[in-house]
Every structure is written in C-alpha cells, then in structure tokens.
Amino acid sequence: MRLSLLRVLSLILIAICIASCANRGTPTGGEIDILPPEITQAVPENFSTNFKGDEIKIYFNEYVKIRDLRKQLIVSPPMDTDPIVTPMSGASKYITIKIIDTLEANTTYAFNFGESIVDNNEENPYPYYRYVFSTGSTIDSLAVKGYVVDALQEKPDTFISVMLYEVDSTYTDSIIYKEKPRYITNTLDSVTTFSIDNIKAGKYKLIALKDENSNYLFNQKNDKIGFKEDFITVPTDDTYELKLFNEEVNYKAFRPSQDGETRLIFPYEGDYESMRIKVLGETPEGYKSRIVKHPTTDTLYYWYKPKFEIDTTFFTVTNNKQIDTFKHRFRTIEGDSLTLKPVTQGILNFDEDFTMESNIPLSKIDTTKIKIINKDSLAVPLKVEYDSIFNTYKFPIDKQEDEKYNFTMLPGAFTDFYEGTNKDTLNYSIRTKMKSEYGNIRVNIRNAKFPLIVQLVNEQGKVMYERYAKDSPVVEFRNLVPRRYKLRAIFDTNENGKYDTGNFLLGIQPERVSYSEPIEEVRSNFDFVEEFTLLD
C-alpha cells in the first residue's frame, strides 16, 4: 500500500515537471528595437558638387517609411514645384527624391527631412537627416543661428519657418508677400532654436513665420511673423532672437448680404470702430438705422426702418482712409420678434454684472417696470448701463456675500428699434457666493517700469483678470475663482491701456511682455503674495 502511494506521488511529480517544461512562457519576440535606421548609400553621394541630375536615391539597412512629410521636409532654397518623394505610403529600403523644378546654377540645395524618416516596425526616426548638393563646384558652408520666442504667449508655436531673403537691387520689404525666400529652415516640434545652414556670404533680411499655408509667403490674416529690424551680414557669429506676433489685420470692408427682413450683414477685417455705413441715394420717409456688432465675429449688423420699396440700392462703407461702394439687391425674408436673455445665469462673481442681451437693437428701457429683490424680500437700488454697439443692458448692483437676487421685468420694460416690447414678464434669479470661496493675490512688482498692464491668464493665454498699474508696484487681485493662473505684465509703452502688437512694414516690434515664475494654484479662502521681478 505504501509502495503504491509512493508510485502515485512520483507519477504526479513527473507530470508536473513535464507540464512545466512544456510551458516555459509565451515567446516575447525578443527585445524591442530602439535603434534608428542606418543609411548605407546615397546616389549621388551626400554633399556632391556639380549636380546635374534630377533624381536622388537614399538606401537604408532596413525597411523605412515616411511620416508627416508635409510638416517635416524643408527644401532650401524652396523650389517653385515641390520635389516628389517616395514611397508616400508603404515601406521600402530606399527613398527616392524626384526633382521637378529647374535648378539654379552655382547654388547649394539642402533637403532637411526633420524626423520624417522612420523604420517600418517601431517607427524609430532617423534624426534630422539632411541631404545637400551643389549645382556648382563648391558647397556653401556658412550658417545663421538663433531662437524663436512668442511676443505674447509664454511658449512659441511649433514648426516655425525661419527664412533669409537676399538683399540685392531687387529687394523690397513687400517681397515677403510675393516671393519665396532664398534660404529656409524649420524649428520642428521639439526645439525653439534654429540654424540656417549651407548659405553663402551676403546681406540678408531675417524673418520667422508660423506659416499656416506652408507656402513660404506671409499672410497677414493667418500667419504670425517675427523679424530682425536691421539687415544681417553673413558670415556672422551673432545669435538672433525672433519674436513672433500677430499683426493687426489691415482694414477691409466686404459686400453686404441680407440677413433678415430689415437687417443686413456687413463683414469686415481689421478695425471696425471708425466704420460708417450710409445709403447712397434716396431713402424712405422717416428712415432710421442702427448698427450692432456681433460679439465674436468680424461682422456688423445694419438694422433699418422702414423697408425699401425699391429692389436695389447702394451703400457706402467708409473708415478714416478709404471709401467702398456696394450694390445691394433686397430680398424678402421673414422678420424677427423680440427675444431677450441674460448673459450670465446662476452664480454671479463679484467682478461681474447681471447683463441682458437682445436679438434686436433696444431703444428704451422703463425702469419703473423692473425690480430687484434680495433673499430678504428687500428692494435693491436699480442702476442701468446700456452698450449700444453690443446691444446689452448691464445692471450694476452692490453685491453682498451669500446673497440671492431676483430680477422681475414686467411686460413693456424693454422697447426695441421697431417699437416692439417684451410681451411677457421676465424672471431671473442669481446668487453670490461667500468671499471665503474665492482667493486673493497681492503682486509685488520688482524693477517696474510704469505704466504696466498686469494680467492673470489661463493655460491658453486668455485674460481672466487685469489691472492697470500707473505708479504703484503693488497690484491686488481679489475675489478670484479658484484655479491655476499665469501672471504676466505688458509694458504699456504708449500708455494707451492695451497691448499693442507689431507691424513688419512699419518696422514696429510688439510691446514687451514678461511672465513671472510659476505661481501657486489659487485656493479658496487663501491670500497669496507673489514676487514678480521684471527683467531689464
């Protein structure tokens, strides 16, 4: 019996060992490849001179593919017709560059691939590969180096084109709108420094563009620009800073369109404040008009009464410098009825006012038909402020902590441009929080140069709070919504109370902006003190 038991146990042990040996684990396929592909040959060789062909082949030790070529590949000087690079999809052991454009004589060309060449399996990039050749007998070897910053934001954009325009007898500042540069490079997505290599000696204009259209031409409406004020002379050992900014778009008016029964849309670009719209010709008896700006788009709404009995008329749109005349054909569109709504509902912060907006321009308000009652049923003094260009009524009140305010607006409280009124009673309820639910920051500014615009911005650079410091180095921000902010100061050089950007053609750089070191996240019921040292 004992021998039998031992035999059974031995058989079980042998079976376990066999199973263990048969299942040692799932094969892993070996270690992950972290090595980039290697170039085994280039035909013609890299840095060839007297280049006469139209095709280049670059061979690798493994299968490669091309990733994000449109952003990564920079050809310097730029070609009028882009070269064809294959394979555009799939993998191959070589890359072919087919040159379509006619090459200039005695010119050094560089193909900067960035990190677009990757191996087929793990996509390990071949880092910043450059293929260079010359159509002449020598390779130009000079370089211009520097770095890019953003005029307003803490960090610059990625993929910034940095360009050199040759300054010769044909050079004018308008060249950046019409012609491609002589030399170009790109900051790519991981660095803010640049080096324009393989250039020849000479005088140049140095430009940086956030080139949204990837055409190497400056589009004022879409692109950021940065520039060195003076021409630079190569060779040079200087390191150049280029500050990117959005220009103010030049004024332009566009043809109007019918948007309502008696409402036209006048689109524009640039500054609207000096725009004036008039009818050219006869108008109906008792004719009146009102202009309201759309709160977010570059659009003016032109309201008029009474309706025109004619099919077509002309409008003139003027600003301080130009006059545009537009022909407009009227259409029949159903009219609107008056609609009012509050801009803010629920919680009202201490830096806000309860505000009403309307879909039709308002002309009158009857304050005897409006009451504000707090939570103790006591009347709150009523004040009213009207903004005609944005068509809003504000109701500034002395806001108290942990209070509730009920707004009652009886029929006829508001009258619009067409003598329409609100037909129903409007009731809105808002409340305030305890001040202990907010945070406060005192900013002590060192090396201040007044006046300064001191701002708290969010992670996207949107201004959340702003103070204007004329002479005191201490700035207070009170009743802040708890969250993380960034602190920045704008040097208001022309003392107009706002940030002024630059202009390339006028040679104007944007006003200086400085960010503080990272500040603590604002918490409720906390008073923070921040030391903000401005660099000279």
Domain final position from 101, 134, 167:
134
CATH number, domain containing residue 204: 2.60.40.1120
Domain final position from 433, 461, 484:
433
The verdict on residue 26 lying in a domain is no
Q: Note whether 410 and 355 are same-domain residues.
A: yes
- Count of CB atoms situated within 10 Å of the CB of 200: 16
Average pLDDT over residues 255-269: 96
**Contact between 109 and 103 (Cβ < 8 Å):** yes
User: Given pLDDT bands bounded at 50, 70 and 90, which one contains residue 15?
Assistant: low
CATH number, domain containing residue 387: 2.60.40.1220
Look up tokens 């537009």; give the residue: 326
Q: Note whether 415 and 469 are same-domain residues.
A: no
pLDDT of residue 13: 52
pLDDT of residue 442: 98
The verdict on residue 21 lying in a domain is no
Q: Note whether 216 and 234 are same-domain residues.
A: yes
CA atoms within 13 A on the CB side of 146: 25
Distance CA 373, CA 229 (A): 60
Distance CA 64, CA 450 (A): 57
**Contact between 208 and 225 (Cβ < 8 Å):** yes
User: Given pLDDT bands bounded at 50, 70 and 90, which one contains residue 388?
Assistant: very high
- Percent of the chain residues topping a pLDDT of 70: 94
pLDDT tens digits, one per residue of 468-477: 999 999 999 9
CATH number, domain containing residue 321: 2.60.40.10
Q: Note whether 116 and 49 are same-domain residues.
A: yes
User: Given pLDDT bands bounded at 50, 70 and 90, which one contains residue 228?
Assistant: very high
Distance CA 266, CA 325 (A): 12
The verdict on residue 10 lying in a domain is no
The verdict on residue 323 lying in a domain is yes
**Contact between 440 and 461 (Cβ < 8 Å):** no
pLDDT of residue 10: 54
Question: In 46-181, at which residue ranges do the beta strands (DSSP E only) sit?
Answer: 55-66, 74-76, 84-86, 92-98, 108-112, 117-119, 130-134, 142-150, 161-166
pLDDT tens digits, one per residue of 275-317: 999 999 899 999 999 999 999 999 999 999 999 999 999 999 9
pLDDT tens digits, one per residue of 176-208: 999 999 999 999 777 899 999 999 999 999 999
The verdict on residue 423 lying in a domain is yes
The verdict on residue 515 lying in a domain is yes
Q: What φ, ψ does residue 440 adopt, rounded to 5°?
A: -130, 145
pLDDT of residue 25: 44
Q: Decide if pLDDT at 230 tops 90.
A: yes
Q: Note whether 126 and 81 are same-domain residues.
A: yes
Q: Note whether 309 and 277 are same-domain residues.
A: yes
Domain final position from 244, 263, 292:
244
Q: Note whether 151 and 232 are same-domain residues.
A: yes
Q: Note whether 429 and 364 are same-domain residues.
A: yes
The verdict on residue 334 lying in a domain is no
Q: Note whether 492 and 521 are same-domain residues.
A: yes
User: Given pLDDT bands bounded at 50, 70 and 90, which one contains residue 31?
Assistant: low
Look at the chain and report how many structural domains it folds into: 5
Q: What is the separation of C-alpha 463 from the centre of its chain, rounded to a whole number of angstroms?
A: 14
Look up tokens 């759309």; give the residue: 294
340-346, Cβ contacts within 8 angstroms, sequence gap of 24 or more? 340/414, 340/422, 340/426, 342/428, 343/392, 344/430, 345/428, 345/430, 346/430, 346/431
Q: What's the chain's average pLDDT?
A: 93
What number of H helices and E strands is found in the chain? 3, 41
Segments forming the whole domain that contains residue 350? 340-433
Q: Decide if pLDDT at 21 tops 50.
A: no
Q: Decide if pLDDT at 11 tops 90.
A: no
**Contact between 370 and 413 (Cβ < 8 Å):** yes
Distance CA 91, CA 121 (A): 10
Q: What φ, ψ does residue 146 adopt, rounded to 5°?
A: 175, -160
Q: Note whether 444 and 521 are same-domain residues.
A: yes
pLDDT of residue 189: 78
pLDDT tens digits, one per residue of 114-170: 889 999 989 999 988 999 999 999 999 999 999 999 999 999 999 999 999 999 999
User: Given pLDDT bands bounded at 50, 70 and 90, which one contains residue 335?
Assistant: confident
Average pLDDT over residues 431-459: 97
pLDDT of residue 5: 46
Q: Decide if pLDDT at 26 tops 60.
A: no
State pTM to two decimals.
Answer: 0.86
The verdict on residue 27 lying in a domain is no
Distance CA 41, CA 43 (A): 7
Average pLDDT over residues 482-490: 97
Q: Note whether 313 and 358 are same-domain residues.
A: no
Q: Note whether 380 and 324 are same-domain residues.
A: no
